[in-house]
Amino acid sequence: MGNINFVQKSNLFSYTATRCLRNEYYHNDCTLCIDICPKGAFHIVRNKLTLFENECVECAGCIGSCPTEALEIESFDPNAYAAAYQHSEETPILSCKVTTPCLGVFDVEHFTVMALRSGKNVTCDMSHCSGCVLNTNGVLEGSIREKIEETNRFLETIQSPHRIESIEEKEEESGRRALFRKGFEKVKESLSESSASLVSMTTAHHKLPDQKMPLKRILLKNSLKEIVTELEITQFPESTPLFFNKQINFDTCTNCGECTQFCPTDALFPTSDKQGIYFSQGKCIGCGICEDICKPKAITAKEGFDLVSIAYERSEQLVHYEMVTCHECRCPYPYKGGDPVCDRCASFMKSNANMFTLARDL
Ligand code: SF4
Ligand code: SF4
Ligand code: SF4
């Protein structure tokens, strides 16, 4: 059994516990990697995710599913691959047989980046999935297909002409392999030449203590920046599994700041005077921690997304309060009108009203 360390390694595969949502917030119940791992190598030990190194077969199928990039494999970096994809003259086919590990290594962000940056359709070789020994009960294949569908729904919504396509039939091995390999060599070339800065950004990313936004979202944001001026519509009223939106109820929020403290990507952050809360839609990974942690349930999901705000990392102020001193306890609190008495004192006075009346009458 593995120990609970900050980084757990099984040869090339590693899990960094400090990036896991379960580590960020005790009550978080993310099971995305557990659900997808065909070997059951992840376990919950004392409410923390633990990798049993001996059970991991390093297929990389779980990597794309982790919203916070807590899972990595030394031999393949999906961010570097997606960033370099556009430089390839002959678009490579994504195939676990030649170019990549299991296609589960990619997330919706990676597929979207490849389609937007290359300006072409991206082809995934799915012909081996159903017969793959790792595809227990169709879980791995189902997850890859779901990500492809989500990507295509998003591309359709923003009226991009490009899609993620799939090859379903096994083709003549020799010719196909040669084509895959040719494409892969092109990507490798571009990784070593024109994409050197992107790769260094990728490898440096995890060393930056203040970099909380997953690199796959930074790549996506930069890709959107390149195309957003060409789009006819940039604001969409509906939801997409890729972007999340939030609202805060002014009347019930107590400005306690818990949501801003626990948001793993700093998508929610306080105003400089600490009297309000901003939200940056492009940074939100939809983990739900803010909604869960908010005691008065003031923060809720909202429909719609704005590509300009996402691309340029614009933030929206969700609430702002004037802080005043409570006349009872002398503590600052967010004033919402009426007598200057904070919620805690008001509720104390209400629940002890009989006692106050008795004391006054004595
Ligand atoms: S998918 Fe990522 S955040 Fe979720 S439990 Fe696994 S390592 Fe933690
Ligand atoms: S939204 Fe909830 S958690 Fe955030 S400051 Fe307001 S009351 Fe606190
Ligand atoms: S805003 Fe909420 S759902 Fe989004 S990343 Fe932060 S805590 Fe998670």
Residue 263's Cβ-count burial label (10 Å; 0-12, 13-18, 19+) is: buried
Residues 154 and 239 in one domain: no
* pLDDT at site 336: 83
Residue 224 domain-assigned (yes or no):
no
Residues 91 and 178 in one domain: yes
Task: Give the number of the atom of ligand 2 that is nearest the alpha carbon of residue 254.
Answer: 7
Residue 273 domain-assigned (yes or no):
yes
Residues 118 and 172 in one domain: yes
CB 91 within 8 A of CB 216: no
Cα 149 to middle of ligand 3, angstroms? 24
Residue 225 domain-assigned (yes or no):
no
Residues 185 and 86 in one domain: yes
Residues 106 and 208 in one domain: yes
Q: Is the CB of 20 under 6 A from ligand 2?
A: no
Residues 137 and 67 in one domain: no
Q: Up-side HSE of residue 200: CA atoms within 13 Å toward CB?
A: 6
Measured by CA distance, the residue closest to atom 2 of ligand 2 is 294
**Alpha-carbon distance 54 to 51, whole Å?**
9
Cα 268 to middle of ligand 3, angstroms? 7
Measured by CA distance, the residue closest to atom 4 of ligand 3 is 284
Contacts of 336 (CB under 8 A, 6+ apart): 250, 251, 321
Measured by CA distance, the residue closest to atom 8 of ligand 3 is 287
Cα 228 to middle of ligand 3, angstroms? 24
Q: Is the CB of 124 under 6 A from ligand 2?
A: no
* pLDDT at site 109: 97
Reported as a single tens digit per residue, the pLDDT across 148-196 is 999 999 999 999 999 999 999 876 554 545 544 544 455 445 444 444 4
Residue 222 domain-assigned (yes or no):
no
Domain that holds residue 54: 1-74
* pLDDT at site 205: 45
* pLDDT at site 332: 86
10: domain CATH number?
Answer: 3.30.70.20
Q: Is the CB of 33 under 6 A from ligand 1?
A: yes
* pLDDT at site 207: 44
Which of 35, 57, 74 is the C-terminal boundary of a domain?
74
Measured by CA distance, the residue closest to atom 6 of ligand 3 is 263
* pLDDT at site 92: 82
Residues 173 and 120 in one domain: yes
Residues 82 and 197 in one domain: yes
Residue 249 domain-assigned (yes or no):
yes
Residue 34 domain-assigned (yes or no):
yes
Which of 74, 106, 121 is the C-terminal boundary of a domain?
74
Q: What is the dihedral of CA 52, 42, 205, 26, to 10 degrees?
A: -110
Residues 119 and 164 in one domain: yes
Residues 47 and 118 in one domain: no
Which of 36, 55, 74 is the C-terminal boundary of a domain?
74
Residue 223 domain-assigned (yes or no):
no
**Alpha-carbon distance 79 to 106, whole Å?**
9
Nearest to 25 by CA among 285, 277, 280: 285
304: domain CATH number?
Answer: 3.30.70.3270
CB 79 within 8 A of CB 215: yes
pTM: 0.85
Q: How far from each other are the two terminal CA atoms of the chain, in whole angstroms?
A: 68
Spans of the chain, pLDDT less than 70: 1-5, 171-210, 356, 358-362
Residues 126 and 188 in one domain: yes
Query: How many domains does the structure of the chain reveal?
Result: 4
**Alpha-carbon distance 153 to 243, whole Å?**
12
Q: Which long-range contacts (CB under 8 A, 24 or more apart) does 333-341 make?
A: 333/254, 333/255, 334/253, 334/254, 334/255, 334/275, 336/250, 336/251
Ligand found nearest the CA of 299: 2
Per-residue burial over 273-286, b = 16 or more CB atoms within 10 Å of its CB, e = otherwise: eebbbbbbbbbbbe
Residue 221 domain-assigned (yes or no):
no
* pLDDT at site 194: 40
Residues 280 and 356 in one domain: no
